[in-house]
A and B are shown apart, each in its own frame.
Chain A
Protein backbone atom coordinates (compact mmCIF):
# COMPACT_ATOMS: atom_id res chain seq x y z
CA UNK A 1 0.00 0.00 0.00
CA UNK A 2 1.38 3.42 -0.87
CA UNK A 3 1.85 6.13 1.76
CA UNK A 4 -1.08 8.05 0.32
CA UNK A 5 -3.40 5.02 0.38
CA UNK A 6 -2.32 4.36 3.91
CA UNK A 7 -2.98 7.96 4.92
CA UNK A 8 -6.45 7.81 3.35
CA UNK A 9 -7.19 4.51 5.09
CA UNK A 10 -6.08 5.94 8.42
CA UNK A 11 -8.02 9.15 7.91
CA UNK A 12 -11.07 7.08 7.00
CA UNK A 13 -10.78 4.94 10.09
CA UNK A 14 -10.24 7.91 12.37
CA UNK A 15 -12.26 10.56 10.65
CA UNK A 16 -15.27 9.12 8.81
CA UNK A 17 -17.70 9.26 11.72
CA UNK A 18 -16.50 12.72 12.71
CA UNK A 19 -17.04 14.09 9.20
CA UNK A 20 -20.49 12.50 8.76
CA UNK A 21 -21.56 13.60 12.25
CA UNK A 22 -20.40 17.20 11.78
CA UNK A 23 -22.12 17.42 8.41
CA UNK A 24 -25.34 15.93 9.74
CA UNK A 25 -25.32 18.53 12.47
CA UNK A 26 -24.64 21.38 10.11
CA UNK A 27 -26.98 20.41 7.27
CA UNK A 28 -29.54 18.35 9.15
CA UNK A 29 -29.57 15.64 6.52
CA UNK A 30 -28.03 12.18 6.83
CA UNK A 31 -28.12 11.61 3.07
CA UNK A 32 -26.21 14.77 2.28
CA UNK A 33 -23.75 14.04 5.08
CA UNK A 34 -23.09 10.48 3.93
CA UNK A 35 -22.74 11.29 0.25
CA UNK A 36 -20.58 14.36 0.78
CA UNK A 37 -18.29 12.49 3.16
CA UNK A 38 -17.90 9.68 0.62
CA UNK A 39 -17.12 12.24 -2.11
CA UNK A 40 -14.54 13.96 0.08
CA UNK A 41 -12.71 10.69 0.73
CA UNK A 42 -12.76 9.85 -2.99
CA UNK A 43 -11.34 13.29 -3.75
CA UNK A 44 -8.66 12.77 -1.10
CA UNK A 45 -7.35 9.70 -2.93
CA UNK A 46 -6.87 11.74 -6.12
CA UNK A 47 -5.65 14.98 -4.64
CA UNK A 48 -3.31 13.57 -2.04
CA UNK A 49 -1.64 11.47 -4.72
CA UNK A 50 -1.00 14.57 -6.82
CA UNK A 51 -0.30 17.13 -4.10
CA UNK A 52 0.82 15.03 -1.14
CA UNK A 53 -0.96 14.36 2.12
CA UNK A 54 -2.02 17.63 3.80
CA UNK A 55 -0.59 18.43 7.24
CA UNK A 56 -3.98 17.95 8.90
CA UNK A 57 -5.88 15.28 6.94
CA UNK A 58 -8.90 15.40 9.24
CA UNK A 59 -9.40 19.14 8.82
CA UNK A 60 -8.84 18.85 5.05
CA UNK A 61 -11.55 16.19 4.81
CA UNK A 62 -14.04 18.14 6.92
CA UNK A 63 -13.51 21.29 4.84
CA UNK A 64 -13.74 19.37 1.58
CA UNK A 65 -16.85 17.48 2.66
CA UNK A 66 -18.46 20.74 3.76
CA UNK A 67 -17.80 22.25 0.34
CA UNK A 68 -19.19 19.15 -1.38
CA UNK A 69 -22.31 19.36 0.75
CA UNK A 70 -22.87 23.01 -0.08
CA UNK A 71 -22.34 22.30 -3.80
CA UNK A 72 -24.80 19.44 -3.55
CA UNK A 73 -27.42 21.55 -1.81
CA UNK A 74 -27.01 24.37 -4.34
CA UNK A 75 -27.21 21.90 -7.18
CA UNK A 76 -30.33 20.30 -5.85
CA UNK A 77 -31.66 23.71 -4.92
CA UNK A 78 -32.54 22.40 -1.55
CA UNK A 79 -31.82 25.54 0.37
CA UNK A 80 -35.31 26.89 0.25
CA UNK A 81 -37.99 27.00 2.89
CA UNK A 82 -39.36 23.69 1.77
CA UNK A 83 -36.06 22.06 2.57
CA UNK A 84 -35.99 23.72 5.95
CA UNK A 85 -39.38 22.23 6.67
CA UNK A 86 -38.44 18.77 5.56
CA UNK A 87 -35.11 18.63 7.32
CA UNK A 88 -34.07 15.04 7.62
CA UNK A 89 -32.80 15.09 11.13
CA UNK A 90 -33.35 18.24 13.00
CA UNK A 91 -31.03 19.62 15.59
CA UNK A 92 -33.02 21.05 18.41
CA UNK A 93 -29.75 22.10 19.98
CA UNK A 94 -30.53 22.09 23.68
CA UNK A 95 -28.15 24.23 25.70
CA UNK A 96 -25.72 21.65 27.03
CA UNK A 97 -24.59 22.15 30.62
CA UNK A 98 -20.83 22.53 30.97
CA UNK A 99 -19.09 19.16 30.89
CA UNK A 100 -22.07 17.45 29.26
CA UNK A 101 -21.39 15.10 26.43
CA UNK A 102 -21.12 17.23 23.38
CA UNK A 103 -19.94 15.13 20.55
CA UNK A 104 -21.63 14.93 17.20
CA UNK A 105 -20.56 11.33 16.81
CA UNK A 106 -22.51 10.40 19.90
CA UNK A 107 -25.63 12.05 18.47
CA UNK A 108 -25.04 10.12 15.26
CA UNK A 109 -24.79 6.78 17.08
CA UNK A 110 -27.97 7.42 19.05
CA UNK A 111 -29.84 8.33 15.88
CA UNK A 112 -28.63 5.20 14.07
CA UNK A 113 -29.54 2.99 17.05
CA UNK A 114 -32.95 4.56 17.61
CA UNK A 115 -35.50 2.09 19.02
CA UNK A 116 -38.04 3.06 16.33
CA UNK A 117 -35.78 1.34 13.76
CA UNK A 118 -35.71 -2.44 13.36
CA UNK A 119 -32.76 -4.07 15.16
CA UNK A 120 -31.12 -5.28 11.93
CA UNK A 121 -31.53 -1.83 10.46
CA UNK A 122 -29.81 -0.25 13.46
CA UNK A 123 -26.82 -2.51 12.93
CA UNK A 124 -26.60 -1.74 9.22
CA UNK A 125 -27.06 1.99 9.65
CA UNK A 126 -24.48 2.18 12.42
CA UNK A 127 -21.91 0.33 10.32
CA UNK A 128 -22.57 2.66 7.37
CA UNK A 129 -22.84 6.04 9.09
CA UNK A 130 -20.56 5.59 12.08
CA UNK A 131 -18.31 2.75 10.95
CA UNK A 132 -17.90 3.96 7.38
CA UNK A 133 -18.32 0.48 5.88
CA UNK A 134 -19.68 0.49 2.35
CA UNK A 135 -23.07 -0.99 1.52
CA UNK A 136 -21.47 -3.99 -0.29
CA UNK A 137 -19.27 -4.65 2.76
CA UNK A 138 -22.24 -4.60 5.11
CA UNK A 139 -24.28 -6.76 2.73
CA UNK A 140 -21.47 -9.32 2.65
CA UNK A 141 -21.13 -9.31 6.42
CA UNK A 142 -24.77 -10.19 6.90
CA UNK A 143 -25.18 -12.38 3.82
CA UNK A 144 -27.79 -10.11 2.34
CA UNK A 145 -27.97 -9.08 -1.31
CA UNK A 146 -26.40 -5.68 -1.93
CA UNK A 147 -29.60 -4.16 -3.32
CA UNK A 148 -31.59 -5.38 -0.31
CA UNK A 149 -29.04 -3.91 2.09
CA UNK A 150 -28.99 -0.64 0.14
CA UNK A 151 -32.79 -0.47 0.34
CA UNK A 152 -32.75 -1.20 4.05
CA UNK A 153 -30.39 1.70 4.67
CA UNK A 154 -32.32 4.02 2.37
CA UNK A 155 -35.61 3.13 4.06
CA UNK A 156 -34.07 3.85 7.45
CA UNK A 157 -32.88 7.27 6.32
CA UNK A 158 -36.35 7.98 4.90
CA UNK A 159 -37.99 7.02 8.18
CA UNK A 160 -35.56 9.15 10.20
CA UNK A 161 -36.54 12.08 8.02
CA UNK A 162 -40.29 11.44 7.77
CA UNK A 163 -40.88 10.56 11.42
CA UNK A 164 -38.38 13.13 12.63
CA UNK A 165 -36.11 10.92 14.67
CA UNK A 166 -34.03 13.50 16.53
CA UNK A 167 -30.30 14.01 16.18
CA UNK A 168 -29.31 14.33 19.77
CA UNK A 169 -28.13 12.59 22.87
CA UNK A 170 -31.27 11.35 24.64
CA UNK A 171 -32.53 13.04 27.79
CA UNK A 172 -31.27 11.79 31.14
CA UNK A 173 -34.40 9.73 31.77
CA UNK A 174 -34.12 7.90 28.42
CA UNK A 175 -30.34 7.63 28.43
CA UNK A 176 -29.80 4.30 30.26
CA UNK A 177 -32.24 2.41 28.01
CA UNK A 178 -30.84 4.07 24.90
CA UNK A 179 -27.22 3.27 25.82
CA UNK A 180 -28.30 -0.33 26.34
CA UNK A 181 -29.73 -0.26 22.82
CA UNK A 182 -26.46 1.04 21.39
CA UNK A 183 -24.44 -1.62 23.23
CA UNK A 184 -26.76 -4.32 21.87
CA UNK A 185 -25.99 -3.14 18.34
CA UNK A 186 -22.24 -3.15 18.99
CA UNK A 187 -22.40 -6.60 20.61
CA UNK A 188 -24.32 -7.95 17.60
CA UNK A 189 -21.67 -6.60 15.25
CA UNK A 190 -18.94 -8.14 17.38
CA UNK A 191 -20.63 -11.53 17.63
CA UNK A 192 -21.21 -11.71 13.91
CA UNK A 193 -17.48 -11.15 13.45
CA UNK A 194 -16.53 -13.51 16.21
CA UNK A 195 -18.63 -16.39 14.96
CA UNK A 196 -19.43 -15.55 11.37
CA UNK A 197 -22.29 -17.49 9.85
CA UNK A 198 -22.43 -18.96 6.38
CA UNK A 199 -20.63 -21.61 4.39
CA UNK A 200 -18.62 -19.15 2.31
CA UNK A 201 -17.42 -16.71 4.97
CA UNK A 202 -14.28 -16.88 7.03
CA UNK A 203 -15.08 -18.40 10.41
CA UNK A 204 -13.81 -15.25 12.11
CA UNK A 205 -14.50 -11.86 10.55
CA UNK A 206 -11.77 -9.74 12.02
CA UNK A 207 -13.07 -6.67 10.17
CA UNK A 208 -16.31 -6.83 12.16
CA UNK A 209 -14.77 -7.59 15.56
CA UNK A 210 -12.26 -4.78 15.05
CA UNK A 211 -15.00 -2.37 14.01
CA UNK A 212 -17.14 -3.27 17.01
CA UNK A 213 -14.18 -2.74 19.36
CA UNK A 214 -13.34 0.55 17.71
CA UNK A 215 -16.90 1.85 18.06
CA UNK A 216 -17.14 0.62 21.64
CA UNK A 217 -13.88 2.44 22.43
CA UNK A 218 -15.46 5.54 20.95
CA UNK A 219 -18.55 5.18 23.15
CA UNK A 220 -16.25 4.55 26.11
CA UNK A 221 -14.37 7.78 25.40
CA UNK A 222 -17.67 9.64 25.15
CA UNK A 223 -19.32 8.00 28.20
CA UNK A 224 -16.38 7.14 30.47
CA UNK A 225 -18.57 6.81 33.57
CA UNK A 226 -20.86 4.13 32.16
CA UNK A 227 -20.06 0.75 33.73
CA UNK A 228 -21.76 -1.34 31.06
CA UNK A 229 -19.82 0.40 28.30
CA UNK A 230 -16.60 -0.48 30.14
CA UNK A 231 -17.93 -4.00 30.69
CA UNK A 232 -18.75 -4.54 27.01
CA UNK A 233 -15.37 -3.19 25.92
CA UNK A 234 -13.59 -5.52 28.38
CA UNK A 235 -15.69 -8.46 27.19
CA UNK A 236 -14.81 -7.75 23.56
CA UNK A 237 -11.09 -7.27 24.31
CA UNK A 238 -10.80 -10.47 26.34
CA UNK A 239 -12.62 -12.40 23.62
CA UNK A 240 -10.63 -10.84 20.78
CA UNK A 241 -7.39 -11.59 22.68
CA UNK A 242 -8.01 -15.31 22.18
CA UNK A 243 -8.64 -15.00 18.45
CA UNK A 244 -5.15 -16.15 17.37
CA UNK A 245 -5.69 -19.45 19.22
CA UNK A 246 -9.35 -20.01 18.42
CA UNK A 247 -9.18 -21.54 14.95
CA UNK A 248 -6.59 -24.16 14.05
CA UNK A 249 -4.44 -24.02 10.90
CA UNK A 250 -6.85 -26.40 9.17
CA UNK A 251 -9.85 -24.23 9.99
CA UNK A 252 -11.26 -26.03 12.99
CA UNK A 253 -12.52 -24.36 16.14
CA UNK A 254 -10.24 -24.95 19.12
CA UNK A 255 -12.06 -25.27 22.45
CA UNK A 256 -10.94 -22.95 25.21
CA UNK A 257 -9.18 -25.61 27.25
CA UNK A 258 -7.22 -26.78 24.21
CA UNK A 259 -6.06 -23.36 23.08
CA UNK A 260 -2.41 -22.37 23.06
CA UNK A 261 -2.57 -19.72 25.74
CA UNK A 262 0.83 -18.40 24.70
CA UNK A 263 -0.79 -17.24 21.46
CA UNK A 264 -3.31 -15.02 23.26
CA UNK A 265 -2.74 -11.30 22.86
CA UNK A 266 -1.22 -10.11 26.17
CA UNK A 267 -1.85 -6.40 25.49
CA UNK A 268 -5.59 -6.93 24.91
CA UNK A 269 -5.81 -9.17 27.99
CA UNK A 270 -4.02 -6.58 30.14
CA UNK A 271 -6.36 -3.84 28.92
CA UNK A 272 -9.42 -6.04 29.48
CA UNK A 273 -8.27 -6.97 32.98
CA UNK A 274 -7.67 -3.30 33.79
CA UNK A 275 -11.25 -2.48 32.84
CA UNK A 276 -12.62 -5.41 34.84
CA UNK A 277 -10.62 -4.28 37.89
CA UNK A 278 -12.00 -0.79 37.46
CA UNK A 279 -15.55 -2.19 37.50
CA UNK A 280 -14.81 -4.46 40.45
CA UNK A 281 -13.71 -1.37 42.39
CA UNK A 282 -17.00 0.33 41.44
CA UNK A 283 -18.95 -2.78 42.49
CA UNK A 284 -17.12 -2.79 45.82
CA UNK A 285 -18.22 0.81 46.23
CA UNK A 286 -21.83 -0.27 45.80
CA UNK A 287 -22.51 0.12 42.04
CA UNK A 288 -24.28 -3.08 40.98
CA UNK A 289 -22.66 -4.45 37.81
CA UNK A 290 -24.78 -5.12 34.73
CA UNK A 291 -24.75 -8.04 32.35
CA UNK A 292 -21.71 -7.07 30.26
CA UNK A 293 -19.61 -6.42 33.34
CA UNK A 294 -20.40 -9.88 34.71
CA UNK A 295 -19.65 -11.48 31.33
CA UNK A 296 -16.35 -9.59 31.23
CA UNK A 297 -15.51 -10.80 34.73
CA UNK A 298 -16.14 -14.42 33.66
CA UNK A 299 -13.79 -13.91 30.73
CA UNK A 300 -11.25 -12.33 33.07
CA UNK A 301 -11.28 -15.50 35.20
CA UNK A 302 -10.61 -17.63 32.10
CA UNK A 303 -7.87 -15.39 30.78
CA UNK A 304 -6.18 -15.24 34.20
CA UNK A 305 -5.46 -18.97 34.19
CA UNK A 306 -2.10 -19.72 32.62
CA UNK A 307 -3.20 -23.30 32.15
CA UNK A 308 -6.80 -24.42 31.55
CA UNK A 309 -6.49 -26.72 34.57
CA UNK A 310 -5.88 -23.69 36.80
CA UNK A 311 -9.28 -22.17 35.92
CA UNK A 312 -11.13 -21.05 39.03
CA UNK A 313 -14.45 -22.73 38.20
CA UNK A 314 -16.11 -21.89 41.49
CA UNK A 315 -15.51 -18.22 40.70
CA UNK A 316 -16.92 -18.76 37.19
CA UNK A 317 -20.01 -20.44 38.64
CA UNK A 318 -20.52 -17.68 41.22
CA UNK A 319 -20.43 -15.15 38.38
CA UNK A 320 -22.94 -17.17 36.36
CA UNK A 321 -25.24 -17.26 39.38
CA UNK A 322 -25.04 -13.49 39.38
CA UNK A 323 -25.65 -13.36 35.63
CA UNK A 324 -28.73 -15.60 35.88
CA UNK A 325 -30.27 -13.03 38.20
CA UNK A 326 -29.66 -10.26 35.66
CA UNK A 327 -30.51 -12.28 32.58
CA UNK A 328 -32.60 -15.39 33.24
CA UNK A 329 -32.43 -16.53 29.62
CA UNK A 330 -31.96 -20.20 28.67
CA UNK A 331 -28.68 -19.38 26.90
CA UNK A 332 -27.19 -18.09 30.15
CA UNK A 333 -28.50 -21.17 31.97
CA UNK A 334 -26.79 -23.33 29.34
CA UNK A 335 -23.45 -21.63 29.86
CA UNK A 336 -23.85 -21.91 33.61
CA UNK A 337 -24.36 -25.67 33.23
CA UNK A 338 -20.95 -25.94 31.57
CA UNK A 339 -19.36 -24.50 34.70
CA UNK A 340 -21.47 -26.89 36.77
CA UNK A 341 -20.02 -29.80 34.78
CA UNK A 342 -16.53 -28.78 35.84
CA UNK A 343 -17.44 -28.60 39.51
CA UNK A 344 -20.16 -31.22 40.04
CA UNK A 345 -19.58 -33.51 37.07
CA UNK A 346 -21.33 -34.12 33.75
CA UNK A 347 -24.33 -35.92 35.20
CA UNK A 348 -25.54 -32.97 37.28
CA UNK A 349 -24.82 -30.64 34.35
CA UNK A 350 -26.72 -32.84 31.90
CA UNK A 351 -29.84 -32.71 34.06
CA UNK A 352 -29.62 -28.89 34.08
CA UNK A 353 -29.05 -28.79 30.31
CA UNK A 354 -31.94 -31.09 29.48
CA UNK A 355 -34.37 -28.84 31.31
CA UNK A 356 -33.65 -26.26 28.58
CA UNK A 357 -34.50 -28.62 25.72
CA UNK A 358 -37.82 -27.06 24.76
CA UNK A 359 -36.56 -23.51 24.58
CA UNK A 360 -33.22 -24.25 22.93
CA UNK A 361 -34.27 -26.98 20.50
CA UNK A 362 -33.09 -24.91 17.50
CA UNK A 363 -29.86 -23.69 19.12
CA UNK A 364 -26.77 -25.61 17.99
CA UNK A 365 -24.83 -24.93 21.21
CA UNK A 366 -27.52 -26.68 23.24
CA UNK A 367 -27.03 -29.87 21.22
CA UNK A 368 -23.25 -29.50 21.22
CA UNK A 369 -23.20 -29.12 25.00
CA UNK A 370 -25.50 -32.08 25.45
CA UNK A 371 -23.42 -34.17 23.05
CA UNK A 372 -20.27 -33.42 25.00
CA UNK A 373 -21.81 -34.22 28.38
CA UNK A 374 -23.27 -37.49 27.03
CA UNK A 375 -19.86 -38.36 25.61
CA UNK A 376 -18.24 -37.76 28.98
CA UNK A 377 -20.82 -40.05 30.55
CA UNK A 378 -19.97 -42.77 28.02
CA UNK A 379 -23.41 -42.63 26.36
CA UNK A 380 -21.94 -42.68 22.86
CA UNK A 381 -25.05 -43.40 20.81
CA UNK A 382 -27.04 -40.54 22.32
CA UNK A 383 -23.98 -38.34 22.06
CA UNK A 384 -23.64 -39.10 18.35
CA UNK A 385 -27.27 -38.18 17.72
CA UNK A 386 -26.82 -34.91 19.59
CA UNK A 387 -23.66 -34.10 17.59
CA UNK A 388 -25.61 -34.78 14.38
CA UNK A 389 -28.24 -32.22 15.37
CA UNK A 390 -25.60 -29.72 16.46
CA UNK A 391 -23.76 -30.06 13.13
CA UNK A 392 -27.00 -29.60 11.25
CA UNK A 393 -27.79 -26.37 13.11
CA UNK A 394 -24.30 -24.83 13.36
CA UNK A 395 -23.74 -22.06 10.81
CA UNK A 396 -20.03 -21.51 11.35
CA UNK A 397 -17.56 -23.53 9.28
CA UNK A 398 -14.90 -23.86 12.01
CA UNK A 399 -17.50 -24.99 14.48
CA UNK A 400 -18.95 -27.56 12.09
CA UNK A 401 -15.45 -28.95 11.52
CA UNK A 402 -14.85 -29.18 15.26
CA UNK A 403 -18.17 -30.87 15.99
CA UNK A 404 -17.70 -33.33 13.11
CA UNK A 405 -14.32 -34.41 14.44
CA UNK A 406 -15.68 -34.83 17.97
CA UNK A 407 -18.52 -36.94 16.66
CA UNK A 408 -16.25 -39.08 14.54
CA UNK A 409 -13.96 -39.67 17.50
CA UNK A 410 -16.75 -41.06 19.65
CA UNK A 411 -15.81 -44.41 21.06
CA UNK A 412 -12.17 -43.69 20.42
CA UNK A 413 -10.37 -41.99 23.30
CA UNK A 414 -6.79 -40.92 22.85
CA UNK A 415 -4.77 -41.28 26.04
CA UNK A 416 -5.43 -38.42 28.43
CA UNK A 417 -8.13 -36.81 26.33
CA UNK A 418 -11.02 -38.67 27.86
CA UNK A 419 -12.36 -36.27 30.41
CA UNK A 420 -12.20 -32.55 30.06
CA UNK A 421 -13.62 -31.44 26.78
CA UNK A 422 -16.08 -28.67 26.72
CA UNK A 423 -18.04 -27.68 23.64
CA UNK A 424 -18.40 -24.17 22.48
CA UNK A 425 -21.48 -22.15 23.18
CA UNK A 426 -21.28 -18.41 22.66
CA UNK A 427 -19.30 -17.29 25.65
CA UNK A 428 -18.33 -20.23 27.72
CA UNK A 429 -15.78 -22.59 26.27
CA UNK A 430 -14.19 -20.52 23.55
Chain B
Protein backbone atom coordinates (compact mmCIF):
# COMPACT_ATOMS: atom_id res chain seq x y z
CA UNK B 1 0.00 0.00 0.00
CA UNK B 2 1.42 3.40 -0.99
CA UNK B 3 0.87 6.67 0.80
CA UNK B 4 1.61 10.22 -0.25
CA UNK B 5 3.14 11.94 2.74
CA UNK B 6 2.99 15.72 2.53
CA UNK B 7 5.11 17.99 4.66
CA UNK B 8 3.10 21.10 5.44
CA UNK B 9 4.74 24.35 6.42
CA UNK B 10 3.20 27.56 7.65
CA UNK B 11 4.25 30.93 6.17
CA UNK B 12 3.37 32.82 9.32
CA UNK B 13 4.88 30.35 11.73
CA UNK B 14 7.45 28.27 9.81
CA UNK B 15 9.16 25.19 11.23
CA UNK B 16 12.85 25.33 12.09
CA UNK B 17 15.39 25.35 9.23
CA UNK B 18 18.06 23.10 10.76
CA UNK B 19 16.25 19.79 10.21
CA UNK B 20 18.18 18.46 7.20
CA UNK B 21 20.61 16.17 9.10
CA UNK B 22 17.74 14.61 11.07
CA UNK B 23 15.68 14.19 7.89
CA UNK B 24 18.60 12.48 6.14
CA UNK B 25 19.00 10.05 9.02
CA UNK B 26 15.25 9.37 8.98
CA UNK B 27 15.43 8.73 5.21
CA UNK B 28 18.21 6.21 5.75
CA UNK B 29 15.93 4.34 8.13
CA UNK B 30 12.98 4.48 5.72
CA UNK B 31 15.22 2.92 3.05
CA UNK B 32 16.58 0.25 5.41
CA UNK B 33 13.07 -0.73 6.55
CA UNK B 34 11.68 -0.88 3.03
CA UNK B 35 9.27 2.07 3.34
CA UNK B 36 11.07 4.55 1.08
CA UNK B 37 9.74 5.00 -2.45
CA UNK B 38 10.44 8.65 -3.19
CA UNK B 39 11.21 11.90 -1.38
CA UNK B 40 11.77 15.50 -2.32
CA UNK B 41 11.80 18.99 -0.90
CA UNK B 42 10.09 21.74 -2.87
CA UNK B 43 11.15 25.27 -3.75
CA UNK B 44 9.05 28.14 -2.47
CA UNK B 45 5.49 28.39 -3.83
CA UNK B 46 6.53 31.68 -5.52
CA UNK B 47 8.47 29.53 -7.98
CA UNK B 48 5.33 27.68 -9.10
CA UNK B 49 3.57 28.17 -12.44
CA UNK B 50 0.03 27.02 -13.15
CA UNK B 51 -0.75 25.85 -16.67
CA UNK B 52 -4.33 25.74 -17.95
CA UNK B 53 -4.84 24.36 -21.42
CA UNK B 54 -8.49 23.35 -21.05
CA UNK B 55 -9.67 26.21 -23.27
CA UNK B 56 -8.67 27.32 -26.72
CA UNK B 57 -5.38 28.74 -25.64
CA UNK B 58 -2.92 27.80 -22.99
CA UNK B 59 -2.72 30.16 -20.04
CA UNK B 60 0.32 30.34 -17.78
CA UNK B 61 -0.08 31.98 -14.43
CA UNK B 62 2.62 32.94 -12.02
CA UNK B 63 2.41 31.45 -8.53
CA UNK B 64 0.68 28.46 -6.91
CA UNK B 65 -2.87 27.29 -7.81
CA UNK B 66 -4.07 28.39 -4.43
CA UNK B 67 -2.59 31.05 -2.15
CA UNK B 68 -2.70 29.90 1.43
CA UNK B 69 -0.97 30.37 4.72
CA UNK B 70 -0.14 26.67 4.80
CA UNK B 71 1.57 25.09 1.83
CA UNK B 72 3.25 21.93 0.66
CA UNK B 73 6.96 22.15 1.48
CA UNK B 74 8.00 18.64 0.53
CA UNK B 75 6.76 15.11 0.07
CA UNK B 76 7.46 11.45 0.45
CA UNK B 77 5.94 8.38 -1.08
CA UNK B 78 5.99 5.50 1.38
CA UNK B 79 5.25 1.83 1.13
CA UNK B 80 3.49 0.64 4.30
CA UNK B 81 1.36 -2.40 5.05
CA UNK B 82 -1.48 -0.35 6.55
CA UNK B 83 -2.45 3.04 7.96
CA UNK B 84 -1.21 2.22 11.47
CA UNK B 85 2.29 1.69 10.11
CA UNK B 86 2.09 4.88 8.02
CA UNK B 87 0.77 6.93 10.95
CA UNK B 88 3.52 5.71 13.25
CA UNK B 89 6.14 6.76 10.67
CA UNK B 90 4.36 10.07 10.12
CA UNK B 91 4.41 10.71 13.87
CA UNK B 92 8.19 10.43 13.74
CA UNK B 93 8.40 12.42 10.51
CA UNK B 94 6.49 15.34 12.00
CA UNK B 95 8.96 15.53 14.86
CA UNK B 96 11.96 15.09 12.58
CA UNK B 97 10.79 17.82 10.14
CA UNK B 98 9.28 20.06 12.82
CA UNK B 99 6.26 20.40 10.55
CA UNK B 100 2.73 19.02 10.12
CA UNK B 101 2.38 15.90 7.99
CA UNK B 102 -0.56 14.75 5.89
CA UNK B 103 -0.88 11.06 5.07
CA UNK B 104 -3.02 10.23 2.06
CA UNK B 105 -3.38 6.84 0.43
CA UNK B 106 -2.87 6.31 -3.28
CA UNK B 107 -5.82 4.74 -4.99
- Contact status A164-B107, CB under 8 Å: no
- Contact status A92-B105, CB under 8 Å: no
Count of interface residues, chain B, beta-carbon cutoff 8 Å: 11
Q: Residue-by-residue, is A141-185 near B (CB-CB < 8 Å gives 1, otherwise 0)? A: 000000000000000000000111110001100100000000000
> Which of A114, A163, A170, A174 counts the most B-chain CB atoms under 10 A from its CB?
A163
The yes or no answer to A348 lying at the interface (CB within 8 A) is no
The yes or no answer to A351 lying at the interface (CB within 8 A) is no
The yes or no answer to B75 lying at the interface (CB within 8 A) is no
- Stretch of B13-21, B44-52, B77-85 with 4 or more beta carbons under 8 angstroms from chain A: B77-85
Q: Interface of chain B, helix or strand or loop or mixed?
A: mixed
- Contact status B82-A165, CB under 8 Å: yes
Q: Which A residues touch B107, using CB under 8 A?
A: 162
Nearest B residue (CB) for A85: B1
Q: Which B residues touch A384, using CB under 8 A?
A: none
Q: How far is the CA of A92 from the CA of B87 in the complex (A)?
A: 17
Q: Which A residues touch B104, using CB under 8 A?
A: 163
- Contacting residues of chain B (61-107) with chain A, CB-CB under 8 angstroms: 81-84, 87-88, 103-105, 107
Q: Which B residues touch A174, using CB under 8 A?
A: 84, 88
The yes or no answer to A90 lying at the interface (CB within 8 A) is yes
The yes or no answer to A288 lying at the interface (CB within 8 A) is no
- Contact status A166-B84, CB under 8 Å: yes
- CB contact between A162 and one of B81, B87, B88, B105 (< 8 Å): that residue: B105
Q: How far is the CA of A170 from the CA of B84 in the complex (A)?
A: 8
Q: Which B residues touch A162, using CB under 8 A?
A: 105, 107
- Contact status B82-A116, CB under 8 Å: no
Q: How far is the CA of A90 from the CA of B84 in the complex (A)?
A: 12
- Chain B nearest CB: distance from A113 CB in Å? 13
- Chain B nearest CB: distance from A110 CB in Å? 10
Q: How far is the CA of A275 from the CA of B93 in the complex (A)?
A: 41
Q: Which B residues touch A171, using CB under 8 A?
A: 84
- Contact status A164-B82, CB under 8 Å: yes
- Contact status A165-B81, CB under 8 Å: no
Q: Which B residues touch A163, using CB under 8 A?
A: 83, 103-105
Q: How far is the CA of A227 from the CA of B65 in the complex (A)?
A: 52
If A163-B83, A163-B104, A166-B82 are given as contacts, then 20 extra A-B residue pairs at C-beta distance below 8 Å, sorted by A number, are A90-B82, A92-B81, A92-B82, A114-B83, A115-B87, A116-B83, A116-B87, A162-B105, A162-B107, A164-B81, A164-B82, A164-B105, A165-B82, A165-B83, A165-B84, A166-B83, A166-B84, A170-B84, A174-B84, A174-B88
10 A–B pairs (Cβ distance < 8 Å), ordered by A: A92-B81, A116-B83, A162-B107, A163-B83, A164-B1, A164-B105, A165-B83, A166-B84, A170-B84, A174-B84
* Chain A residues engaging chain B, CB cutoff 8 angstroms: 90, 92, 114-116, 162-166, 170-171, 174
